[in-house]
Every structure is written in structure tokens, then in C-alpha cells.
Amino acid sequence: MTHWADDEESLLAPVHWTRPHASTLPVTGAWRPGDPLGQRQFMQMAVDRPFVLEGGGQLRNITIAFETWGTLDADAGNAILVCHALTGDAHAAGPAGPGHPTPGWWDDLIGPGKVLDTERHFVVCANVLGGCQGSSGPASPRGDQPGHYGPNFPVVSVRDMVRTQAKLADALGIARWLAVVGGSMGGMQVLEWGVMYPGRSRALVSIATCLAATAQQIAWWSTGRRTIALDPNWRNGHYYDAPPGEGPHAGLALARMLSQITFRSDDVFTDRFGREVVEPLSGRFSMWQRFQVERYLEYQGDKLARRFDANSYLLLTKAMDLHDVARGRGGLAPALRRLAAPLLSVGVTSDVLYPQYQQREMVDGVSAVGGDATFHQIDSPHGHDAFLIEHVQMGEALGTFLTRIEKSTA
């Protein structure tokens, strides 16, 4: 009962899609002031004093874009924070539409009667600091001087993202989340929430993520960054004023094509594409003849280039490489000893990018220091992206865990 696509469009794409001419692509896929707001809400922070980043940079007048679903209870006890992955954004639920190029990335899990039940829960998702869908990032106007931050936006860590989310929680009147939930880079945020603010969540759900980026993960993301830097249209990060079609979409798209391979699996690629061709081999062989898998990857690359910003991609992949819950905390055990809430760690059988052993390691690590941690396995051929695809299994795991938390008195 394999289903292939994360959405219907990408299911059909490799068959019908034709690569557009680059000139139709914007220099950045970032949301920019003046674009349709969609469901975005905004919060300003660091207005009176600078926000000092873990890596030493400073920012003033930070905007965090976020969305909410449902109604916050009087005691603010029903709030759930959902943290997005690398190329996700605050639009975790709801349809595509003006301001939202894609439907919510977890639309099957968030809504009335769904596992994150917006008739009972108040769900919040914020675009991360350094992102490109409304929160302050490299594509944002600087404010203090003309132009955009571009490559001068300071390096952001997962801890910085979480600190902005804590300020958002303060502003929303949420002292303690019922749960903090996220996959991949979102799962890194979940772990940092647990360590940085142990009293501020009743439950943690981290999916397909790691305690610290491994050398192989750094290898993948760092080569993706070099792909963007190889694109002459990246212009050392100063491309925002380039003519339409002359942004670094080729580099960004290629970085995405590469990562898309690591997001899926050998089995699924074989099932879906095998050796099917786009341009037939029956005539003369040519260097740029494509197999279907190549068009699929081109489509995925193009899709991302339309809705993402190359400098944000650099920044957020770097944040993932820097992710290490032990850093500056005297080691892993002291860091994990800070966790106060039960942790559900979810892994995917076929995930080659964030392999299951990493999610088991975090359960072992938390258990070893006396914490409450459970491993749950998603059985799926879809690789890392299964957390965006296997809604039934994800929903069951989340639902069971949330029910346990809601029944507890902690």
C-alpha cells in the first residue's frame, strides 16, 4: 500500500512537467513585505535591545511570522507548538492560496477532529529565525540601512530559533506548551526546547532527528551549500537586486535535487521510476537525455526555487550542521539531564539521512540519566520524508502519546 507523493502535484509531475525557462523564476522565493499575507501573523521582538545570537551576532527589530489554529484556553493549557523542518514554514495546515504556495505541510494532522485537534488544541507554528516566509532572514530588508541582509545575516543556531519561539510563547501568554512537536530540523528545535526551557513543555515529540549532526549529515548539507555557492548567480549572496531570472535558482534547485535523494529511498525510487526515460534512448544517445528520476528531481528543485531563498538555505543547513545538544553544556548527559518532560522519539525504518539508530540513541541517552523517553518506529519505505507522508502512522503515534500526556496530572 505504498503511496508515492507528498502531494498530488508531485505525483503527476514527473510525467507531465516541463522544465520552465529560468527567466520565469524570481531571484528569491522568499515571502517579502507587500506579498499576500495569507494566514500569517507577525510578532516583533528585539525592538528595544538587540537579540544576541549564540554564535555572537546581533539582530534588532526581528519579525517572527507565525500561524495559529484553534482557540487558546483560559488557562493556556491546550497550546501545542509545531516546529518546521528545513524548507517548511509556518503554514503547517490549511490550503495553498495567496501567500501560501503550498498546502500546509502537516495538513492531515492539524485541523478539526484531527490528531492535533483544533477544536480542542491551540496549535502554533512559527517560521524560524533565518527563514524566508515572513520571519527575519537574509532576504529581509535590513531596516537600519538600505538593502537586504543577504550574506550579512548572522549565523543562526537551533537554540536561537527556540529563543525567538519562547518570546512568541510569552507574547501569546503560553507559560507551558502541552507539547512541542517537530521533525528533522523541527525535531532539533524540540530537543532544544526540552533542554533550554525544561519547565515550559509537558511533552516533547521529536521525529527523524538527532542529538547532534553526524559527519555524514554535515557532508550532505555542506556540499549542498557549496552547490549554491558554485552558481555564479548567487553573487556571494548579493542577488536580491538582480533582474528576474538571474537569481541563484540553478544552485538552489540542484542543492534540493541532491537532498531529495537523501530524503527518499532506493526502493521507492525503483518502484516509482525504475529506468523509465523522458527522452527516449531509441535514437542516438545524448549526454543530457533524461531518465524519469532526473525529471522528478528537476521538478522538486524547481518547486523549491520558487518558494525558498538561497541564503536562507545556506543559513538553515548550517544551523543543522551546528546542532549539538551537548555543546557548551559539559557533555551530553548534563544536557539531557535537564529534560523534564516525557520525550517521544520517532524514527523511520528506511530513513538514510537521519537513521533510526539516532532516534534510539536519544531515547537511550535520556533514559540513562533517569528521564522518560520512548522510541516509536514508523514502518515506511519513504525514507526521511515519511514524517511528511505517513499521516496514519504519525497520527497514531502522536495521538497515543498526547492522550497519555493529557490524562497525566503533571
**Interacting residues toward its own copies by CB under 8 A:** 53-57, 151, 154-155, 157, 212-216, 218-220, 222-223, 225-227, 230-232, 250-251, 254, 257-258, 261, 265-266, 269-270, 272-275, 281, 283-287, 290-294, 297, 314-315, 318, 321-322, 324, 327, 352, 355
The least distance separating its own copies from the CB of residue 153, rounded to whole angstroms, comes to 9
Beta carbon of residue 318, minimum distance to its own copies (angstroms, whole number): 6
To its own copies, the closest distance from the beta carbon of 165 in angstroms equals 19
Question: Out of 121, 249, 382, 384, which one is annotated catalytic?
Answer: 384
- Whose Cβ is closer to its own copies: residue 28's or residue 201's? 28
- Give the nearer residue to its own copies in terms of CB position, either 103 or 247: 247
Of 123 and 297, which CB lies nearer to its own copies in the complex structure? Answer: 297
Do residues 321 and 269 make contact, with C-beta atoms less than 8 angstroms apart? no
Q: Which amino acid makes up residue 107?
A: D
Cβ-based nearer residue to its own copies, 242 or 261 = 261
Nearest 5°: phi and psi at 348? -115, 130
Comparison of 97 and 274: residue with beta carbon closer to its own copies? 274
Give CA–CA dist 17/26, Å, rounded: 19
384: annotated active-site residue: yes
- Please indicate whether residue 351 is annotated as part of the active site: yes
Q: Give the shortest CB-268-to-its own copies separation in angstroms.
A: 9
Residue 104 or 131 having the CB closest to its own copies: 131
The one catalytic residue in 351, 376, 380, 382 is 351
State in angstroms the smallest separation of the CB of 10 from its own copies: 15
Q: Which C-beta is closer to its own copies: that of 72 or that of 155? A: 155
Q: Choosing from 136, 140, 157, 184, which is the catalytic residue?
A: 184
Sign of the Cα pseudo-torsion (384, 390, 395, 400, in order): negative
User: Which has the closest alpha carbon to 325: 245, 234, 206?
Assistant: 206
At which residue does the C-alpha cell 538552489 appear? Answer: 252
Give the nearest distance from C-beta 75 to its own copies in angstroms.
39
From the centroid of its chain, how far is CA 7? Answer: 17
Least distance between its own copies and beta carbon 341 (Å) = 26
User: Known catalytic residue: 286?
Assistant: no
Pair type for strands 58-59 and 41-45: unpaired
Report the candidate in 29, 231, 222 with the shortest Cα–Cα distance to residue 137.
29
Positions annotated as catalytic residues are: 184, 351, 384
